[in-house]
Amino acid sequence: MAADAPLADLPAIARAICNRYTGVGADGWMLVDPTPGADLEANYDASIRLFNSDGSEPELSGNGTRCAALLLRSEYANEIRIRTGAGIKHLRLVSAEKDPEFLYEMNMGKVRVVELAARVQDFDAVILDVGNPQCALPVADFDFEWRAVGSAIENDPRFPNRTNVSFVRAIDRHSIDVRFWERGAGETNSSGTGSTGAALAAIARGTVESPVSVHTPAGPLAVRVDGDVTWLTGPAEFIADGVFRYGRMGADD
């Protein structure tokens, strides 16, 4: 259905599918094209296209790209190169011992710290480019209206294309606890790019050192830095499959 839909309909379909009352319910929707190809960067095995739950189109999803790798596992058993809006990402299957959960390591490339000591909405922040925009706020705890702060920062005028927001609490020298407010989706229980940005912000500030265990409400992810390259490791799991019928209710949402 989605592959044949007019381009203008895809954001509306994304909103309908992601609706938690009349749709399947999700933070985002991903289209997977298993066709191999090549661009100026390198060869790739498949491509993905992402939509947030509000219909906007982000550049990259760390968790979503791992899910695409799992979906394509029958064709590319242990390693796969997936073209995203933020370039080609190389993923490697680390473990399949906990079937149906598979553990993947993903090359996130070079993460860029745009501003190490920023002030956004009167909060101390680190601004990063992880392939998508990230704004990480060091916090002592989460006992404040961080969701409202996240929404305000997402739409701050200094971010013309909006930004993802993470709230980062250091646990020890190799662990952080994080909450996420994602651009186009709001509060989410996990974020691969957000975890990467949060970990790199804490490393850049000297709060932690690599490798970093990122504790999210949905479970831990691992981030390590090897020279100029950052690696993200986390699970992907099949939970269901089926058919979504896009009708009047979805179109009106």
Residue 232 contacts residue 222 (beta carbons within 8 Å): yes
Instruction: Calculate the CA 162 to chain-centre distance.
Output: 15
Would you state the pLDDT for residue 253?
43
DSSP conformational letter for 246: -
φ, ψ of residue 9 in degrees (nearest 5) = -85, -15
Could you say which residues of the chain have pLDDT below 50? 1-5, 249-253
- Span 30-70, pLDDT tens digits: 999 999 999 887 899 999 999 999 999 999 999 999 999 99
- Span 201-228, pLDDT tens digits: 999 999 999 999 999 999 999 999 999 9
**Helical pair 62-71 and 192-205, crossing angle rounded to 10 deg:** 140
Would you state the pLDDT for residue 166?
98
Given this chain, do its domains 7-97+236-252 and 112-227 carry the same CATH topology? yes
Would you state the pLDDT for residue 248?
52
* Of 31, 27, 24, the residue nearest 4 (C-alpha): 31
Would you state the pLDDT for residue 115?
98
Mean pLDDT of the chain: 92
Q: Nearest 10 degrees: CA dihedral of 170, 153, 184, 93?
A: -20
Q: How far is Cα 235 from Cα 50, in angstroms, rounded to an integer?
A: 19
Would you state the pLDDT for residue 250?
43
Beta strand segments in 53-174, E: 79-84, 87-98, 101-109, 112-120, 123-129, 133-138, 164-172
pTM strictly above 0.85 = yes
Q: Tell me the two tokens of residue 26.
A: 């999700």
For the domain covering 112-227, report its CATH number.
3.10.310.10
Q: How far is Cα 190 from Cα 144, in angstroms, rounded to an integer?
A: 19
Domain boundary assignment for the chain: 7-97+236-252, 112-227
Would you state the pLDDT for residue 98?
67
Would you state the pLDDT for residue 88?
96
For the domain covering 7-97+236-252, report its CATH number.
3.10.310.10
DSSP conformational letter for 71: H
